[in-house]
Amino acid sequence: MSSSNPKAVIASLVAATISTVFPGFAAGALSVQLTAEYGVGEATYGWALGAFFLSAAAGSVVLGRTAQSLGPRRQITLALVGSAAAQLTIALFSTEFLALVACMAVLGFLNSGNQTAINLAISQARLPRLGLAIAIKQSGMPAAAMLGGLAVPVIALTVGWEYVFGLGAAFAVAAIGPMRRQLADGAPSPAQQKGELQSSLASLRTLGLASCALAFCAGSLTGWIVGSGVDAGLGAGQAGLVLSLGAALGITVRLLWGFRLDSITWSPLLGAGAMSLVGSAGLAMLVLRSPAVHVVATLLAFGAGWIWPVFSNFGIVRANPNGAGRATGITQMGVYIGVFSGPLLGGWIIETYSYSVFWMVVFAVALFGAALMIRISPEF
C-alpha cells in the first residue's frame, strides 16, 4: 500500500482510531451519571468498563491475524459500522445495566479488530516518517479520552448522557468515507497474509506483560479519574475538564516525541519505561485527597505516564514490517487485559477501601511495568 498524501492517510486513521475506542473512555468519564442512571455501585459499574476491554483482549490475537488476510480497509470498515450500531443501541435502547454491559463487550471486540488493522495499515503505507505517524495515530487514544471528559460538562450535564453515545455513533459513520478513500482495497501480498514475525514470540509475550501492567494504570486513570476528582472535592464538570486537560497534555507530549522517534539510536522501550517512571509520581500524588493536588497529579500521570504506547508500538511495527497486525495483536491482548483489570479491580477497591488505597495499588503496578519495559528493551 502506498499513498501520495501521507497526511491524509494518517488523518483518516486517527479518526478511525478515535471512533472505536471513544465509547470505552466515554463510559469511564460518564461513571458518575451512569452509576446513578442504572442504580449500581462502583464495583458493579466496573463490569461495564471492564467488558469493553475484556472483549477486546479476547479478540485481539484472532483479529490481528484476520487483518493480515482480510486487509486493513475491509476490517476497519466493518469495525466502524459495527461500532456506530452498538453506540446507537446504547443511546436509544439501553434501559438495563446488563444491556449496557453487552453493548460495551461488542464495542470492545470491534475496537480490537480496528486497532490491529490500523497498525497494519500504517506499516503498509510506506510513510516517510514511521515514528511520527505512529505517534499521531497513538494520539487518537488520549484524544478519545479528552472528548469523553469534555462530554461530561458539555453534553451529559446539559442534554443527557445518551447524546454522548449518539454523537460517538455519528463520528464513527463520518470516519468511514475518508478512511476508504485513503486505503487501497487490493488483496494483501502473500507475505502480508502470512504475517511473518521478526520478533520472537517470547519477547512479544514479555512486552505484552509489561504493556498489561502499564495499561492497568491507564485503564485506572481513564476509568476512575473523574470519580476520584469528585471524591477529592471537585464538581463533576470540573473533574471532567481536568481529564480533558490531562489527555490534551498527553497528546502534546506524544506528538513531541513523535518528531524524534525516527532518529533515536536507543531502544524505544527505554523511553517507554523512563516516561512511565516519571508518570508514576503523578499516580502516587493521587493518594492525597485534595482538589489542587488532584489537578496536578492528573496532568503528570497523563502527560508522562500514558506516553509509553507510542514507544512500544513504534518498536513493534518497526521490528515486524510484514506482521504488524499479528505482532500488535499479541501485545495488544496484554494491553486490553490490563485496561480491563484497572476499572474492574478499581471499583472493588474503591468501594471496599478508598480511592487512596486504589491509587497506591496503581502506583505499585506502574513501577513493575516500567521496570519490565526497560528489561525487555534490548529485544526491540
Average pLDDT over residues 63-89: 93
pLDDT value of residue 151: 87
Look at residue 37 and tell me whether its pLDDT is greater than 70: yes
Neighbouring residues of 196: CB distance < 8 A, sequence distance ≥ 6:
322, 323
pLDDT value of residue 81: 97
Cα-based distances in Å from 336 to 7, 356, 379:
28, 24, 22
Look at residue 4 and tell me whether its pLDDT is greater than 70: no
Look at residue 252 and tell me whether its pLDDT is greater than 60: yes
CB-based contact 292:284 (threshold 8 Å): no
Among residues 207, 168, 194, the alpha carbon closest in space to that of 67 is found at: 194
Neighbouring residues of 4: CB distance < 8 A, sequence distance ≥ 6:
none
R_g over Cα of the chain: 19
Task: Name the band, by pLDDT with cuts 50, 70 and 90, for residue 190.
Answer: low
Look at residue 229 and tell me whether its pLDDT is greater than 90: yes
pLDDT value of residue 194: 55
Task: Name the band, by pLDDT with cuts 50, 70 and 90, for residue 192.
Answer: low
Of 326 and 77, the structure prediction assigns the larger pLDDT to 77
Look at residue 316 and tell me whether its pLDDT is greater than 60: yes
Largest CA distance in the chain: 57
Average pLDDT over residues 311-321: 86
Look at residue 116 and tell me whether its pLDDT is greater than 50: yes
pLDDT value of residue 191: 55
Q: What 3-state DSSP class applies to 2? A: coil
First and final C-alpha spacing in the chain: 25
Average pLDDT over residues 158-167: 94
Report percent pLDDT > 70 for the chain.
Answer: 96
Look at residue 30 and tell me whether its pLDDT is greater than 60: yes
pLDDT value of residue 85: 97
3-state secondary structure 148-194: HHHHHHHHHCCCCCHHHHHHHHHHHHHHHHHHHHHCCCCCCCHHHHH
**Euclidean distance between CA atoms 125 and 256, whole angstroms:** 22
Of 191 and 366, the structure prediction assigns the larger pLDDT to 366
- CB atoms < 10 A from the CB of 191, how many? 12
Report percent pLDDT > 90 for the chain.
Answer: 47
- The CATH code of the domain at 6-184+199-379 is 1.20.1250.20
**Euclidean distance between CA atoms 360 and 23, whole angstroms:** 27
Task: Name the band, by pLDDT with cuts 50, 70 and 90, for residue 2.
Answer: very low
**Euclidean distance between CA atoms 93 and 87, whole angstroms:** 10
CB-based contact 94:354 (threshold 8 Å): no
Task: Name the band, by pLDDT with cuts 50, 70 and 90, for residue 189.
Answer: low
**Euclidean distance between CA atoms 134 and 259, whole angstroms:** 10
pLDDT value of residue 61: 83
pLDDT value of residue 351: 87
Average pLDDT over residues 170-192: 81
Query: Would you mind telling me the total number of residues written for the chain in this entry?
Result: 380
Average pLDDT of the chain is 88
What is the DSSP track for 71-101? -HHHHHHHHHHHHHHHHHHHHHH--SHHHHH
Task: Name the band, by pLDDT with cuts 50, 70 and 90, for residue 1.
Answer: very low
Map out the domains of the chain as residue ranges. 6-184+199-379
Look at residue 278 and tell me whether its pLDDT is greater than 90: yes
Among residues 226, 94, 224, the alpha carbon closest in space to that of 160 is found at: 94
**pTM score, whole prediction:** 0.78
Look at residue 279 and tell me whether its pLDDT is greater than 90: yes
Among residues 179, 174, 38, the alpha carbon closest in space to that of 100 is found at: 38
Average pLDDT over residues 153-168: 92
Among the residue ranges 60-69, 78-87, 286-295, the one predicted with the least confidence is 60-69
Among residues 111, 107, 52, 104, the alpha carbon closest in space to that of 76 is found at: 111
What is the DSSP track for 260-319? HHTT--S-HHHHHHHHHHHHHHHHHHTTS--HHHHHHHHHHHHHHHT-HHHHHHHHHHHH
Among residues 318, 312, 220, 243, the alpha carbon closest in space to that of 275 is found at: 312
At residue 233, what is the residue type?
Answer: G
Q: Which of 234-243, 327-336, 366-375 has maximum average pLDDT? A: 366-375
Average pLDDT over residues 216-222: 88
CB-based contact 347:44 (threshold 8 Å): yes
Task: Name the band, by pLDDT with cuts 50, 70 and 90, for residue 119.
Answer: confident
Look at residue 3 and tell me whether its pLDDT is greater than 60: no
**Euclidean distance between CA atoms 153 and 206, whole angstroms:** 40
